[in-house]
Amino acid sequence: MNCRHCKAPLKHTFLDLGFAPPSNAYLTEADLNKPEIYYPLKVKVCDSCWLVQTEDYAEADSLFTPKYAYFSSTSASWLDHGKRYVDQVIEELELTNKSFVIEVASNDGYLLKNFLHAGIPCLGIEPTGSTATAAEKLGIPVWRNFFGEALGKILSIEGKQADLIIGNNVYAHVPDVNDFTKGLKSVLKREGTITLEFPHVMRLIERVQFDTVYHEHFSYLSLYTASRIFATAGLRIWNVEELPTHGGSLRVYGCHEDDARETQQGVADLIGQEINQGLQQLDTYLEFQPRADNIKNHLLAFLIEQKRNGKAVAAYGAAAKGNTLLNYAGIKPDLLSFVCDAAPSKQGQFMPGSHIPILPPEQLAEVKPDFVLILPWNIAEEVKTQNAKLAKSGTRFVTAVPKLSIQ
Ligand SMILES: [Zn+2]
């Protein structure tokens, strides 16, 4: 296999998590009696452009789209994050009712509705039917497509070039990152701006976030590598912000390469920091697997100890990262009896691979488990606040990454 960006041969493995079912392939009760398909979950690193990327295998590009159960609006902190971004970007870019905003992977419209309320025309691009319908109900126009150069050109021909193109948590999910970036180039107005948010691979490595690895996630990006990909498409990253979301993300600001805006010092500074943290040395990547294994072993030891002591352990958050962790550790309902999730679309279903049942959050108050393992550690504080009553009655909250923590 060759690098998805620079086409150099991929010789080095960053992380091998064995085999796992697609992390969003939630199961119904009837599915539990059927065979389940597991795919290799291996991540490589390119020693030429340092793009960390999921290894290719049969059907990868078409597999992970049909019943995508994730609705952005189910997380309160994510809604706040979106609102703050929109307020900031409208002011910075001086957007008005004459501007045009496109969001790629607009999900259920949680972000674009803020532009709608501000009177700024917008368009969502979203291939997943269920979330697109939810956005349309809010009054947001949606094109139900995958985004790439071909669609970018069609949008451009239809007069839909954008002053602002937003891609939040989509850049890492596209199989062909070069084609996606060329699409951005095609649909960007002369002086337009692109903002993309994606998890920062520097933080993934530093904080051992191996559970953010799943099949749907094709790339793990540094600012250096993202800048290279932009440059290849005739674009330039001229500014960057670090965000706390998803354990540490970047928000990059892009423009056409010949745009009048100067590249900010912060871009070179952060690339310098990446180099200092070893992101351009192969050893940094090769040393990651044992660090991930250590976390898995500690969690397993904790769960087995609670089982021996007769303690009840439940989990919170049927998120993709939870599935990676549970499947890599081989955890089943004997060690973790159920997982609660606020999304009605997941309740009553089962976690892929581990077959742990997904129940509504109210179940926690009924059962009062001794421990609640919070799988999406990025919203741990939110979950603890929502369940403050439970903590008062003696339940303790546990997170496994970056190391086992019991509070
Ligand atoms: Zn490469």
Q: Ligand 1 centre from 194 Cα, in Å?
A: 23
Other Cβ atoms within 10 Å of 276 Cβ, number: 10
Q: Ligand 1 centre from 54 Cα, in Å?
A: 12
Whether 45 has a pLDDT exceeding 90, the answer reads yes
What band does 59 get if pLDDT is binned at 50, 70 and 90? low
Q: Ligand 1 centre from 262 Cα, in Å?
A: 27
Return mean pLDDT, the chain: 93
pLDDT at residue 347 in the model:
95
Residues in contact with 9: Cβ distance below 8 Å, sequence separation at least 6, in sequence order = 1, 2, 3
pLDDT tens digits along 97-114: 999 999 999 999 999 999
Q: What are phi and psi of 235, to 5 degrees?
A: -120, 170
pLDDT at residue 55 in the model:
86
pLDDT at residue 70 in the model:
63
**For residues 4 and 175, what is the distance between their CA atoms, to the nearest angstrom?**
8
What band does 237 get if pLDDT is binned at 50, 70 and 90? very high
**For residues 117 and 78, what is the distance between their CA atoms, to the nearest angstrom?**
18
Q: Ligand 1 centre from 9 Cα, in Å?
A: 8
**For residues 188 and 212, what is the distance between their CA atoms, to the nearest angstrom?**
30
Whether 57 has a pLDDT exceeding 60, the answer reads yes
Q: Ligand 1 centre from 250 Cα, in Å?
A: 20
pLDDT at residue 58 in the model:
52
Contact call for residues 9 and 2 (beta carbons, < 8 A): yes
Angle at 244 between CA 91 and CA 136, to 5 degrees: 60
Q: Ligand 1 centre from 45 Cα, in Å?
A: 8
**For residues 334 and 343, what is the distance between their CA atoms, to the nearest angstrom?**
24
pLDDT at residue 169 in the model:
87
**Average pLDDT of the residues in 339-344:** 92
Token pair 């991929």 is at which residue? 10
The answer for 259, left when phi > 0, alpha when psi is -120 to 50, beta otherwise, is beta
Q: Ligand 1 centre from 392 Cα, in Å?
A: 51
pLDDT at residue 343 in the model:
87
Q: Ligand 1 centre from 79 Cα, in Å?
A: 34
What band does 71 get if pLDDT is binned at 50, 70 and 90? low
Whether 66 has a pLDDT exceeding 50, the answer reads no
**For residues 319 and 324, what is the distance between their CA atoms, to the nearest angstrom?**
9
**Average pLDDT of the residues in 309-331:** 95
Long-range contacts of 283-289 (CB under 8 A, 24+ apart): 284/205, 285/12, 285/14, 285/45, 285/52, 285/205, 286/12, 286/14, 288/14, 288/15, 288/205, 288/208, 288/210, 289/13, 289/14, 289/15, 289/16
Whether 152 has a pLDDT exceeding 70, the answer reads yes
Q: Ligand 1 centre from 195 Cα, in Å?
A: 23
Q: Ligand 1 centre from 147 Cα, in Å?
A: 22
Better-scored residue on pLDDT, 22 or 397 = 397
**For residues 399 and 376, what is the distance between their CA atoms, to the nearest angstrom?**
8
pLDDT at residue 63 in the model:
56
Q: Ligand 1 centre from 292 Cα, in Å?
A: 24
What band does 7 get if pLDDT is binned at 50, 70 and 90? very high
**Average pLDDT of the residues in 184-190:** 98
**For residues 60 and 122, what is the distance between their CA atoms, to the nearest angstrom?**
31
Q: Ligand 1 centre from 1 Cα, in Å?
A: 11
**For residues 231 and 229, what is the distance between their CA atoms, to the nearest angstrom?**
5
Report how many helices (DSSP H) and strands (DSSP E) the chain contains, helices first. 15, 17
pLDDT tens digits along 344-365: 989 999 999 999 999 999 999 9
pLDDT at residue 75 in the model:
72
Q: Which two tokens stand for residue 398?
A: 């546990």
Q: Ligand 1 centre from 91 Cα, in Å?
A: 37
**Strand 339-340 versus strand 396-399 pairing type:** unpaired
pLDDT at residue 345 in the model:
86
Q: Ligand 1 centre from 176 Cα, in Å?
A: 13
Bridge partner list, 42: 16
